[in-house]
Structure 1
Amino acid sequence: MRFPSKYLNDKVKGRASWFRLAVSLVAAGCLTTALTGCAKVDTTTPSAARANAATASPARFGTVDCREAKCIALTFDAGPSEHSARLLDILKEKKVPATFFLLGKRHIEKYPQLVKRMAAEGHEVASHTWDHKILTSLSEQQIREELLRPSEAIERLTGQRPVLMRPPQGRTDETVTSVCEKLGIAQVLWSVTAKDYTTNDSALITQRVLDQATRDGIILLHDIYPGTVPAVPGIIDALKERGYVFVTVPQLLAPGKPQPGKIYRP
């Protein structure tokens, strides 16, 4: 694949630039769904998870019943970062819960206090692997290592072991699913993406989310990019005006519970 020149000439340095390049090239090269890394996998919708539930489970943040309410889940990948504290301030002010899929290397390691704060303020803290390696290209043992390390780090900091993970670039397959099942982790994909790895235009990020939002939606954003966090207040206010209620991913599935190995996607 020939690299797009705009990425080769990117002046932005550091983690965000590398991450943006990697995700964008995959998006350009994959002509089928990017949500499953170009592979066909069985997924479960939030409504199906709720319908198949045998017993109710308590809400982790408030008392929302998504069988009745018009729910939507706000999720953030690849943090924590220098922008995460401001994001948590916004979520606290707006009384909105989120689900954070955290990276281990250079993120959980660098910002342990933010991880603790996320959990303490009622957000769902989950895994985005240790080093953002594409799981479908790894051996079973390597996949296990990529998933175990962030789970153990999060548990040490918060006292709770993650029950959710998001595979980097949404790429998963039967081997990844098998490892997740053994480790007691469910996989979470998404239905709304602002492609905030391609722009720092907060107004454009906001509009992309609003254009795609639907009931039971799972919104994918990244709090590592400078344009994303400033977009969040407008996204929240506009969706609330449309009657949406913000929930964590486990609340979206309730009274069902995340089942190890399953892949959830609206």
Structure 2
Amino acid sequence: MIFIAVGAFVSSAEAENDCKKPLYLTFDTGHMAVAPLVADVLARQQVRVTFFAANERTQEGDGSLGEHWASWWRARAAEGHEFASHTWNHTYWRADVGEVHAPSFRVRPSAGPRAGQEFVLTAARYCAEIARASDRLKQVTGKDPLPLFRAPGGKTSTQLLASARACGYAHVGWSSAGFLGDELPSEKASNTALLNKALRDVRSGDILLAHLGIWSRKDPWAPAVLEPLIAGLKERGFCFRTLREHPDYAAWVAR
């Protein structure tokens, strides 16, 4: 298969089938200031990734899933990237409440009109949080998102995961070595240290996690680390695929 998109990727069937050491690079949304740079690097390196999107506050525009960024998402779809929900309001799970047969969850969103507040959502309303981001992604990209989601902070419970699966969404976390550290304080975790750690520790099959901008990090990660990381991993024989092809999720996605 040859895939060609404007300013993006050209990959052959031989290259696709020769992927012996796959990695699954994923990005969660953030303040979006580095999003154009991330897109440029991915295009230059001919790497496709999976984006998990919430409607988070951004440095520019009306939220990461607002109209300002809609054309950016459409362009990524044209390049062959995949998309999935990060919940609409970047809603953190805090605790299970209620009965097993009628689960509810104490949550705290970091975006939207109730940002910073704790309150309770029923399982159905939590599913609606997942679906709202997924629906918006489909609206702006014209592409069906994957039936996957990532809970903010990776914080879940057995009941939350079961409730999400019941409404059609499997959860995706990340590998231990795949935590790329872009949300850590730069005073304690320098870009050089994070790059070296990833190049040393990442293993075949790992799901890698980064963000489209972290408000609190003083020395931004992506401009310094992303391209050297991808290039260095390629030199070590790794290749990149989306979660559509991940063995733990491929059957769920194909249903």
TM-score by length of 1: 0.67
Residue 75 of structure 2, aligned match among 114, 117, 138: 117
Bigger Cα displacement from structure 2, 88-97 vs 185-194: 185-194
Q: How does 1:1-266 map to 2 (within 5 A)?
A: 62=11, 63=13, 64-65=16-17, 69-79=20-30, 81-105=32-56, 106-109=63-66, 110-137=68-95, 138=105, 139=121, 140-162=123-145, 163-191=147-175, 192-200=178-186, 201-225=190-214, 226-253=220-247, 256-258=250-252
Cα deviation code 1:63-101 (max 9, x no counterpart): 4348x6111111111247121111111110111111111
Q: Secondary structure, in 3 states, of the residue corresponding to 1:147?
A: helix
Aligned length: 200
Q: Is the 8 A contact 2:243 2:250 kept in 1?
A: no
Cα deviation code 1:156-206 (max 9, x no counterpart): 112233222111111122332233223322211111112211144432331
Give the CA deviation at 1:255. 9.4
CA distance in structure 2 between the aligned counterparts of 1:117 and 1:176, rounded to whole angstroms: 33
Bigger Cα displacement from structure 2, 228-237 vs 239-248: 228-237
CA distance in structure 2 between the aligned counterparts of 1:72 and 1:233, rounded to whole angstroms: 15
Q: State the percentage of identical aligned residues.
A: 28
Greater fraction helix = 1
User: Tell me, which stretches of 5 or more residues in structure 1 are unaligned?
Assistant: 1-58, 261-266
- Please tell me the residue identity of whatever aligns with 1:121: E
CA distance in structure 1 between the aligned counterparts of 2:22 and 2:72, rounded to whole angstroms: 26
**RMSD over aligned Cα, in angstroms?**
2.5
Q: Is the 8 A contact 1:186 1:259 kept in 2?
A: no
TM-score by length of 2: 0.70
CA distance in structure 2 between the aligned counterparts of 1:79 and 1:248, rounded to whole angstroms: 20
Give the CA deviation at 1:135. 2.9
CA distance in structure 2 between the aligned counterparts of 1:183 and 1:255, rounded to whole angstroms: 16
Greater fraction strand = 2
Q: Is the 8 A contact 2:174 2:209 kept in 1?
A: yes
User: Tell me, which stretches of 5 or more residues in structure 2 are unaligned?
Assistant: 4-8, 57-62, 96-104, 106-120, 215-219
Give the CA deviation at 1:136. 4.9
Which fold has the larger relative contact order, with Cα–Cα distance below 8 Å and residues 6 or more apart in sequence? 1
CA distance in structure 2 between the aligned counterparts of 1:144 and 1:185, rounded to whole angstroms: 8
